Structures are given as C-alpha cells and as structure tokens.
Amino acid sequence: MNTSEEITILKDAIIEYGSVNSEGKHSVAYGTLFDKTANTLEALNGTLRAAKRQKKVFLVLVSSL
C-alpha cells in the first residue's frame, strides 16, 4: 500500500469514527483512531505526518492530563 492510499484510509477513518467540531471540521481522539486503524495502517504516526506534510489533514494535539 502506498502513502496516498494510506492517507485516504486515514481520512475515511477520521470521518467515520470522529465527530464534527464547532468549526465544522471532523475530529477524532488519537486513541480511537489508533484502535480503529491498527489492523489497516501499520504506522499511524508516519501516515499522520505524511498527511500533515501534504496538507491533507490538520493536526491539533490536546493533552488529556
């Protein structure tokens, strides 16, 4: 599977398992995304970084501490 296919799977997973935030954008918790894509995406972090670099996703990290 190439990077563009993995990014497509990532975007679909964010839409499917996430929710629409107050800005009208889809968002999902990293833990949920990790659990739901564990069997599909071998390297979630790498796919997220590639998608961010290609401006396919916008990442906002929020601490739950």
Q: What is the pTM of this model?
A: 0.82
Q: Please tell me whether residue 9 adopts helix, strand or coil conformation.
A: helix
Hey, where are the domains in the chain?
3-53
Cα–Cα distance for residue pair 59/40, rounded to 1 Å: 20
- How distant, in Å, are the alpha carbons of 9, 26, 28, 36, 65 from that of 40? 8, 20, 17, 8, 29
* pLDDT given at position 59: 79
pLDDT in tens, 13-44: 999 999 998 989 999 989 999 999 999 988 99
Domain 3-53 class, CATH top level: mainly alpha
